Amino acid sequence: MEPEKPSFFSTRYIKFLGGRNTIFTLILLLMIGLIIMIYDEISFIFVPLTVFLGNVILPIILAVIVYYLLRPILRMLEKIKVKRVLGILLIFLALVGIVTLLVFLVFPFLKAQFFRLAEELPGYFIEVLSQLDSFLRTNTFISSYYLQIENDVANLLYDLPKELGAFFQNTFTGIATGISSFIGILTSFILAIVTVPFILFYLLKDGEKLPAYILKIFPPRMREDLKSVFTSIDKQISSYIQGQILVSMCIGIMIFIGFTIIGMDYALLLGVLAMVTSVVPYLGPVIAITPAAIIALVTSPFMLIKLAVVWTVVQLIEGKFISPQIMGKSLHVHPITIIFVLITSGALFGVPGVILGIPGYAILKVIVSHFYTLFKKRYNKFEPVVEKHYEYTNNKVE
């Protein structure tokens, strides 16, 4: 048998790096980089697609969220022999009634509280700053440093009018452009809200059939795996949206009840704020507690203690009883991972990234997990089985 001829792939270094697999991986990465560079150079071709997606993505996301909230109700109606189209119409009528009641009964009260809080909030801030100033002046340990900083701040405030004049003169054009952009964003948002009911109707009507239509595009041998991926994604999104909305509603109701009991001003407004912001895990409660803490601090130190007690009780009930029962372990995402995902998605995409970061990560996790499972199956299929030879010496295996 002729000895194997030495080659580039048989050297120790290349074998250590993986042999032919390393070369293939490097070439693949090089091709991916080349493709990205080419597409970056001809990015103007994709401007119409970008504009189209920018106008379509918001109503689709809103419709999908409402779809997952209403789908269980539609399924319940179908179980009692109500036809799908009739069930959708009944759900739409109920939604119109609920929105009408909220607009005429709850919204005026919330509006009055909001404008009153907006008027009084600067006073709250000034009061908090004056209390902080008094504390820093009377504290012997840091008063000398604070007085030195105060002198620097005074000098800064003396030169501030000149700098502000130059600043406003330079940024006037930018402000005008920002107003135009805001009007465009507001127009797009209103159009998105008007479009949502139509998209929602067809999602409720044919949403169950959509995965089957998509599967027909792919070859038959891929359909079973893709069906599993679609099922997992559907389960993840459904569990997250329904669970997070229910948890947020429970938090808002408990905050309203707790703040009412302790006599906190703007209890309803703060409860609604807590409900809305709690849609974002971990970061939402921090945003919700800030205005409540300012109001409590200005009211009295004892009110701040009562606020801390109410907030602690609400977080304990939500963390120990509500979330485990409603959310369960459906996402299987570690809290540290959630925080990193929220920070990264928020830095990349702003507020939409913070709201959609967790479900987007869950979808990506499902896709990557399934493809990794398929890769392991393929790898095990083509990996040669290494036969082990045993020598028996004196009835011992060596």
For 8-21, b where at least 16 C-beta lie within 10 A, e where not — what string?
A: eeeeeeeeeeeeee
Asked if residue 146 belongs to a domain, the reply is no
Per-residue model confidence as pLDDT tens digits over 188-216: 667 777 888 888 888 888 888 888 888 88
Q: Are residues 366 and 226 in contact, defined by beta-carbon separation less than 8 angstroms?
A: no
Q: Which residues contact 304 (CB under 8 A, 6 or more apart)?
A: 293, 296, 297
The whole-number average pLDDT for the span 285-306 is 81
Asked if residue 177 belongs to a domain, the reply is no
Instruction: Please determine, for residue 253, whether its predicted confidence score (pLDDT) is greater than 70.
Output: yes
Q: Rounded to the nearest 10 degrees, how much is the dihedral formed by the CA atoms of 323, 326, 327, 330? A: 140
Instruction: Please determine, for residue 153, whether its predicted confidence score (pLDDT) is greater than 60.
Output: no
Q: Are residues 245 and 371 in contact, defined by beta-carbon separation less than 8 angstroms?
A: no
The whole-number average pLDDT for the span 243-255 is 87
Asked if residue 237 belongs to a domain, the reply is no
The whole-number average pLDDT for the span 71-92 is 89
Instruction: Please determine, for residue 130, whether its predicted confidence score (pLDDT) is greater than 50.
Output: yes
Instruction: Please determine, for residue 95, whether its predicted confidence score (pLDDT) is greater than 70.
Output: yes
Per-residue model confidence as pLDDT tens digits over 154-179: 554 455 555 555 554 555 455 445 55
Q: Rounded to the nearest 10 degrees, how much is the dihedral formed by the CA atoms of 200, 202, 208, 212? A: -130
Q: Which residues contact 266 (CB under 8 A, 6 or more apart)?
A: 113, 116, 117, 295
For 126-165, b where at least 16 C-beta lie within 10 A, e where not — what string?
A: eeeeeeeeeebeeeeeeeeeeeeeeeeeeeeeeeeeeeee
Q: Which of 211, 233, 238 is nearest to 363 (CA)?
A: 233
Euclidean distance between CA atoms 249 and 271, whole angstroms:
9
Confidence of residue 396 (pLDDT cuts 50, 70, 90): very low
For the residues of 279-330, what is the DSSP string, one character each?
Answer: TSTTHHHHHHHHHHHHHHHHH-HHHHHHHHHHHHHHHHHIIIIIHHHHTTTS
Going 361 to 363 to 367 to 369, the CA torsion angle's sign is: positive
Confidence of residue 248 (pLDDT cuts 50, 70, 90): confident
The whole-number average pLDDT for the span 250-265 is 88
Asked if residue 273 belongs to a domain, the reply is no
More confident residue, 251 or 146: 251
Q: Which of 281-290, 310-319, 376-385 has the least mean pLDDT?
A: 376-385
pLDDT at 93: 92
pLDDT at 84: 87
Q: Which of 294-303, 305-314, 325-334 has the least mean pLDDT?
A: 325-334
Confidence of residue 89 (pLDDT cuts 50, 70, 90): very high
More confident residue, 207 or 249: 249
Confidence of residue 358 (pLDDT cuts 50, 70, 90): confident
Asked if residue 74 belongs to a domain, the reply is no
Q: Are residues 204 and 74 in contact, defined by beta-carbon separation less than 8 angstroms?
A: yes
Asked if residue 21 belongs to a domain, the reply is yes
Instruction: Please determine, for residue 129, whether its predicted confidence score (pLDDT) is greater than 80.
Output: no
**The whole model's pTM is what?**
0.68
Question: Radius of gyration of the chain from Cα atoms?
Answer: 30
What are the tokens at 124?
């709250």
Return phi, psi of residue 237, to 5°: -65, -45
The whole-number average pLDDT for the span 101-119 is 79
Asked if residue 121 belongs to a domain, the reply is no
Neighbours of 314 (CB within 10 A): 22
The proportion of the chain whose per-residue pLDDT surpasses 70, expressed as a percent, equals 70
Q: Which of 164-178, 315-329, 339-353 has the least mean pLDDT?
A: 164-178
Asked if residue 332 belongs to a domain, the reply is no
Euclidean distance between CA atoms 114 and 269, whole angstroms:
7
The whole-number average pLDDT for the span 391-395 is 49
Euclidean distance between CA atoms 230 and 250, whole angstroms:
30
More confident residue, 299 or 176: 299
Euclidean distance between CA atoms 342 and 283, whole angstroms:
8
Instruction: Please determine, for residue 239, whether its predicted confidence score (pLDDT) is greater than 50.
Output: yes
The whole-number average pLDDT for the span 276-284 is 78
How many structural domains compose the chain? 1
pLDDT at 142: 61
Amino acid residing at 182: F
Instruction: Please determine, for residue 292, whether its predicted confidence score (pLDDT) is greater than 70.
Output: yes
Confidence of residue 52 (pLDDT cuts 50, 70, 90): confident
pLDDT at 161: 55
Euclidean distance between CA atoms 251 and 289, whole angstroms:
12
Residue in the block written with tokens 């109001």: 295
The whole-number average pLDDT for the span 15-40 is 78
Instruction: Please determine, for residue 107, whether its predicted confidence score (pLDDT) is greater than 70.
Output: yes
Confidence of residue 1 (pLDDT cuts 50, 70, 90): very low
Mean pLDDT (the chain) is 76
Neighbours of 22 (CB within 10 A): 15
The proportion of the chain whose per-residue pLDDT surpasses 90, expressed as a percent, equals 2
Instruction: State the maximum Cα–Cα separation within the chain, in Å, rounded to a whole number.
Output: 98
Q: Which domain holds residue 21?
A: 11-40
